[in-house]
A = this chain, B = another copy of it.
Amino acid sequence: MSGEKKVEQITARDVDFGQWYTDVVKKAGLADYSSVKGCVILRPYAQALWENIRDTLDAMFKATGHENVAMPLFIPESLLQKEKDHVRGFAPEVAWVTHGGAEKLTERLCVRPTSETLFCEHYAHIIHSWRDLPKLYNQWCSVVRWEKTTRPFLRSREFWWQEGHTIHATRQEAMDETLRMLETYVTFAEESLALALVKGRKTDSEKFAGAEETYTMECMMHDGRALQSGTSHFFGDGFARAFDIQFTDRDNKLCYPFQTSWGLSTRIIGGIIMTHGDDNGLVMPPRIAPTQVVVVPVAAHKPGVMEAARSLKETLTAAGLRVRLDDSDQSPGWKFAEHEMKGVPLRAELGPRDIAAGACVLVRRDTGEKRTVQRENLPGAAIALLEEVQQNLRAAALLNLERRTRAAVTMPEMADLAGEGGFIKTMWCGDGHCEDLVYEATGMKSRCIPFQGERLSDSCIACGRPAQDMIYWGFQY
């Protein structure tokens, strides 16, 4: 028999956060590299996490009347070019298909980087009358953007996401939808993923290509950098005009409809890692964890231990928990380290002494706290502990966000604070040129203009002219 597998070590976060991230992705078994640069494989643990994300969000979408569709992978070059801002934003980073089998195509096809153009073409086919509106569509798929620098989950040439595309009879209805979907993302990120974030409107220079307005949630990572984690775009009737989508209203008048799109991707997995992870590896928020409780038998060879472990697993599973029994022949110590690396929120240890005492030991991943629980108090005790872990992760993320959000009124003040990262909030005049000035002085980009900003001073931090809004700045992933 081969020897026991080694417990793998990872770099500490304080030593090298980037290397820590890479170590966690690999050693927790989340992703593997393929031979195409920048394209990763989602291994079973990451895919299970993504499916939990998908199922949770999908239920939220369906509860608000959205329907799923599946659009083609390919966009003809001429279709991509119909909306001018949009093509300018995406053409430089798409992958081009030029041949089908041995034959050269008469027109190049790009692999979708996003599907606005495909939805518009379809909408032009199916929307004729006010009766056909609204359409609230969504799809789950992968998209391709030919990025130069890539990192698993955070920036890859192919990534998985959902893209919602809706179309409405009125401007107001479309704007309401845009904001509703941003709030859906925020609720999901805060409640299911225990992330901490600020939300608001993007500046013109940071908007999505072709959008009138882009709204975003920006999550604060452990190292003080921000992660744009979900965006919702309001298109007005720009795409409808470019693609000639029109409908007859109730008064028999031809009108252009109004559109939105909104997306959340596997990038959010990077956000989970970098918000909750620690020097022992991943820490999964219980509500989304692929495995919520791992049962580890101790002295598994002794009579009755495996049977008791199996029965414990069944008890917890029957209560609706996602449970795994590790019945491999590795040592308990190896298993403890392995499931810590994978961030399983709760470990249930069970050995002969526990069995004799009618108990098991529950160990929290976040605090390491051990608690001996009588079997008759399960699964209630496990459910309560999981909820405590969820709340604790959320509180820690919020504390990090709070600690890392500072205000600045002058540029020297801001340049001084910028060294520590985090969000810096300042006043801003609304001019893109001042964003450039801030970037040159601090390396920070605008993250978003919150819906309700504070009044920190009367003048723009960069130019001193009258301030229009409060704005968040930060270093970004």
Binding site for B on A (CB under 8 A): 1-2, 5, 32, 34-36, 39-44, 47-48, 50-51, 67-76, 79, 91-103, 109, 111, 118, 121-122, 125-126, 129-131, 137, 141-142, 144, 146, 157-158, 160, 248, 250, 252, 328
Contact = CB atoms under 8 A, between A and B. Distances in A.
B72 A158 contact: yes
Nearest to A328: B131
A73 B142 contact: yes
Contacts of A36: 72, 74-76, 109
A118 B40 CA distance: 11
| Minimum-distance CB pairs A-B, first 9 | A100-B146, A44-B67, A42-B70, A39-B72, A96-B99, A34-B72, A98-B98, A101-B146, A47-B68
B102 A71 contact: no
Contacts of A5: 131
A101 to B, nearest CB: 5
B121 A74 contact: no
Contacts of A42: 69-70
Contacts of A101: 91-94, 146
Contact of A122 (B34, B71, B129, B250): B34
B125 A40 contact: no
A34 B118 contact: yes
Q: Which of A2, A72, A73, A125 has the most CB of B within 10 A?
A: A72
11 contacts: A2-B252, A39-B74, A41-B122, A73-B73, A91-B101, A92-B102, A94-B101, A95-B97, A95-B100, A111-B111, A131-B328
A96 B98 contact: yes
A144 B109 CA distance: 13
Contact of A74 (B98, B158, B328): B158
Contact of A131 (B2, B32, B79, B94): B2
A125 B328 CA distance: 21
Nearest to A34: B72
B48 A68 contact: yes
A288 to B, nearest CB: 16
A91 B146 CA distance: 24
A111 B469 CA distance: 47
A137 B126 CA distance: 38
A145 to B, nearest CB: 9
Nearest to A290: B67
Given A39-B72, A41-B72, A42-B70, 17 more contacts: A2-B130, A32-B126, A41-B70, A41-B122, A42-B69, A43-B69, A44-B68, A44-B69, A51-B68, A72-B158, A73-B158, A74-B95, A93-B101, A95-B100, A96-B98, A96-B100, A100-B146
Contacts of A44: 67-69, 137
B76 A35 contact: yes
B70 A2 contact: no
A111 B126 CA distance: 29
Contact of A125 (B32, B51, B157, B160): B32
A93 B67 CA distance: 33
A146 B99 CA distance: 9
B35 A79 contact: yes
A94 B1 CA distance: 44
B96 A32 contact: no
Given A95-B99, A98-B98, A122-B34, A72 B2 contact: no
B111 A73 contact: yes
Nearest to A2: B129
Given A2-B131, A98-B99, A131-B2, A121 B35 contact: yes
A250 B1 contact: yes
Contacts of A252: 2
